[in-house]
Structure 1
């Protein structure tokens, strides 16, 4: 995610934090019936025991960060009923006398760990006003990472087997088989996670948890930094709790007004744009797996990957690289230009019949660990998406959506034709809880949206539309990557920091270049 070798290096300028209990809440507005949650005591201590992945085991060893569990209702319609807990990680402000409050972070997904993200950002923010004046706080949304209980649908071996099946057969028998697998997946999620939690893992409930966390941390108003899907959390919070917002920076926005199909097609076009940029970069390298003509890059990529539908490649350690894994590896690499070199090498390996490097990239995307287990990221992504988004149950509509996707993202076209198979969400065992309408700004204070012109996952126009819906400011970053704030661009970082610290919006029309 946002955690790199430098960002995850423990700080040496502070003494290790000591375990302690705090009850700074309740602060600010508290909904009736939730007083005990907003005013709960937080027991802070070392973070090592909260690690759920191999990378967390390294970054959570930093003794200048601290972790706690926050208790929230499993179902906000029954706050006196069963409870669940959220994992929370905090890096205290380095200048307590200038402290403004907490800066709560969500890195997106849905399904990504906010604790991991915050741990990675401690190095990036250490010598900035954000690190000096804010407690940097990351939380694992309900069901994710260190939060308990976890969303679990498939075991490690089941995930491996699922990745080998590319579901490319669009014959009646193939469609029936794919739909049966999708139906079984939802049933497995309900059995292993519990239908009661599964019904309450959507954004609607995450923002209520966010408000509990705000208050329990002692903040009358929320200061929030949301990336990618985190912008959906921010927009929903702004609609539910507009009077509780101090500042909200949203980077890599999801268009609040798009349908499920329109959002999918727009994202496909975004990834194709990033692939085209990769192809132009690759053509200038000494050796490019796709050749020296960017105009032929799609055809070359298809020639390398399409045979994998029927004949997966050797990926070492007894594993096989499927078509799904190869295209997922490409998608993972297109999120950031720093990964383009690895993608090129991986595609060169594939041309020689080997799939090790592409498998590594796909494993990162899916959260696969070295022992064969998986993080919660994939199961959580599916579970949240299926309760957040409106479901498509018309096979003709699904076929048309798939046709449009292949048209705008030809590098991801397997050559087998549009497939009408209904996805997992069409068979999901619990109801939709998401709000399909764009947020209304209401009494919301000014917000700031950052949008990247060549963002592959959340297209630029989505950020423009979210900025309009929230009535806030917009910073345009000209580049090809997913999100931009705190990723090394001084122009974007300065605008964002000034807004979060001083509540000053940049001049209208501000553009930053890479």
Structure 2
């Protein structure tokens, strides 16, 4: 998740591997046992559909998903859902689904449906990545691991379309929005144009944008639950996927079996509160990176932590006025340099690469920093982008009320840069409104504590130095869900099945398999 010129909330980037498989007679017998569990009136046809599992290759929509779906042991299908649940007899759309089957058919509990967040990230690709982590484990034996691309995202059809690949490159290279208060009108004109393009270029236009948010995604997920043959849902949500989780629990409280919510989004925070809290997270994690870096002889920021922020700004602030031209003809902007830095702060495993990229930038080579930014933006080696960034804006604009008070925007941006000083471009904070202020449809949700009375206790995993979703957000969500907080001590965005921590993974597995929550106050290191 990252804040950009349009004040975008965070997105999750994943490096993925996956694979293909065809249906067997045993599978066909299992898929016939639908619908399962409660079926809302008027939706019987959707809940009773049979998923036609097959190879995943045809579902690839970009370079990253082609790589993700080229592995072994996976199968894919399309789920048909109404474009508008207010008109189930009208237009239908499809949701892409990927499955890694449980290895123990006799001991199988059901499906574990997961979403990696963003919003806008591919659940199919994320499940493909996690399949390697669960194969040979109790979790892989007991559950089919299922990932889906929420409506409008990735392999789901239609997908959100706002910018061409060339327009995305140009937007990243554009420095006009960095010029401060004098260019508010230009920045807002760009935001308005982006919103209009999303409505013009996305199939079904405003109707699709109006039915894109978490309100509708959780209804799709309940259709998926039933077609998978599960009377109750077992769910794993990361980052913004935690919002999908608690929204599902509120919408379908009787249909929840178990939920792990990792890297929580605070349910009460609006866009600006989330922005400032995220700045605090990034600022704190950058300080941790500096502590790690200055202890090394090759630290690109020197050996004195007190001067590290200034040395970093000396490297990136010149890019505000003069982006660096790279060997391939592209230019590294200030936004790309800071985005690459933020992308590396998501995981300590990438810190050595960030240090190398900063060292190279100091020597006039911005290619490594551009590669980190490309990883975040999901730009493939062929120059094509996934739709993650466009979907991120579209979902957030329909999930939350727009922010129109320019004074509040300016104050929040100043607070953000105070909390994450290393990201400060050295310019006055802007009061420009983002694309959501010009979104062509009304929002369908708003920040508030979920009402989850009667829902089984969730397991909420929160990391002490999470850069994107600060620790306290997990504390707050665990209370709101009446669940159990599991603390992971580290500088990492999300932890379950992603950092190889035995304490976290075993606690999560015990909960999903047996319903056994870890003891109150459990901390994993």
Instruction: Please tell me the TM-score bracket, short chain as reference.
Output: over 0.9
Corresponding position: 1:371 with 2:387: no
Number of the residue aligned with 2:501: 489
Number of the residue aligned with 1:197: 208
Corresponding position: 1:164 with 2:173: yes
- 1:106-140 CA distance string (max 9 Å, x none): 01100000000111111100011110010010000
Q: C-alpha distance in 1, partners of 2:14/2:272?
A: 31
- SS for the counterpart of 2:462 is strand
TM-score, structure 1 length as denominator?
A: 0.96
Corresponding position: 1:400 with 2:442: no
Is the CA contact (8 Å cut-off) linking 1:113 and 1:144 kept in structure 2?
yes
Number of the residue aligned with 1:322: 333
Number of the residue aligned with 1:465: 476
Q: C-alpha distance in 2, partners of 1:147/1:259?
A: 28
Residue segments in structure 1 that go unaligned for 5+ positions in a row? none
Corresponding position: 1:412 with 2:423: yes
Q: C-alpha distance in 2, partners of 1:496/1:489?
A: 11
| Structure-to-structure mapping, 1:41-440, within 5 angstroms | 41-166=50-175, 167-172=177-182, 174-193=183-202, 194-440=205-451
- 1:222-250 CA distance string (max 9 Å, x none): 00000000000001001111110000000
- 1:168-218 CA distance string (max 9 Å, x none): 11233x111000000000000000111111111111111111101001111
Number of the residue aligned with 2:465: 454
Is the CA contact (8 Å cut-off) linking 1:199 and 1:387 kept in structure 2?
yes
Q: C-alpha distance in 2, partners of 1:420/1:2?
A: 29
How far apart are residue 314 of structure 1 and its match? Answer: 2.2
Residue segments in structure 2 that go unaligned for 5+ positions in a row? 1-11
Number of the residue aligned with 2:520: 508
- SS for the counterpart of 1:44 is coil
> Number of paired residues?
507
How far apart are residue 58 of structure 1 and its match? Answer: 2.9
Is the CA contact (8 Å cut-off) linking 2:400 and 2:445 kept in structure 1?
yes
CA separation of 1:3/1:164 partners in 2, compared to 1, >3 Å: closer, same or farther?
Answer: closer
Number of the residue aligned with 2:5: none
Q: C-alpha distance in 2, partners of 1:145/1:234?
A: 20
Is the CA contact (8 Å cut-off) linking 1:2 and 1:117 kept in structure 2?
no
How far apart are residue 16 of structure 1 and its match? Answer: 6.3
Q: C-alpha distance in 2, partners of 1:54/1:268?
A: 31
Number of the residue aligned with 1:498: 510
Q: C-alpha distance in 2, partners of 1:310/1:200?
A: 40
- SS for the counterpart of 2:67 is helix
How far apart are residue 29 of structure 1 and its match? Answer: 0.8
Q: C-alpha distance in 2, partners of 1:234/1:91?
A: 21
Q: C-alpha distance in 2, partners of 1:204/1:132?
A: 32
How far apart are residue 9 of structure 1 and its match? Answer: 6.7
How far apart are residue 302 of structure 1 and its match? Answer: 0.9
How far apart are residue 18 of structure 1 and its match? Answer: 4.3
- 1:297-324 CA distance string (max 9 Å, x none): 1111111111101111123311000000
How far apart are residue 367 of structure 1 and its match? Answer: 1.3
Q: C-alpha distance in 2, partners of 1:75/1:316?
A: 48
Deviates more, 1:467-476 or 1:417-426: 417-426
How far apart are residue 435 of structure 1 and its match? Answer: 2.9
Number of the residue aligned with 1:474: 485
TM-score, structure 2 length as denominator?
A: 0.94
Q: C-alpha distance in 2, partners of 1:290/1:386?
A: 38
Q: CA RMSD in A?
A: 1.5
Is the CA contact (8 Å cut-off) linking 1:3 and 1:119 kept in structure 2?
no
Is the CA contact (8 Å cut-off) linking 2:18 and 2:74 kept in structure 1?
no
How far apart are residue 54 of structure 1 and its match? Answer: 2.3
Q: C-alpha distance in 2, partners of 1:288/1:301?
A: 11
Q: C-alpha distance in 1, partners of 2:184/2:79?
A: 43
CA separation of 1:107/1:2 partners in 2, compared to 1, >3 Å: closer, same or farther?
Answer: same
- 1:62-119 CA distance string (max 9 Å, x none): 3421100000011111111101001100011100000000000101100000000111
- SS for the counterpart of 1:327 is helix
How far apart are residue 286 of structure 1 and its match? Answer: 2.0
Q: C-alpha distance in 2, partners of 1:399/1:300?
A: 26
- 1:414-456 CA distance string (max 9 Å, x none): 0001111111111111111113221012110111000000000
Q: C-alpha distance in 1, partners of 2:260/2:102?
A: 19
How far apart are residue 52 of structure 1 and its match? Answer: 1.9
Q: C-alpha distance in 1, partners of 2:73/2:415?
A: 50
- SS for the counterpart of 1:369 is coil
Q: C-alpha distance in 2, partners of 1:9/1:238?
A: 29
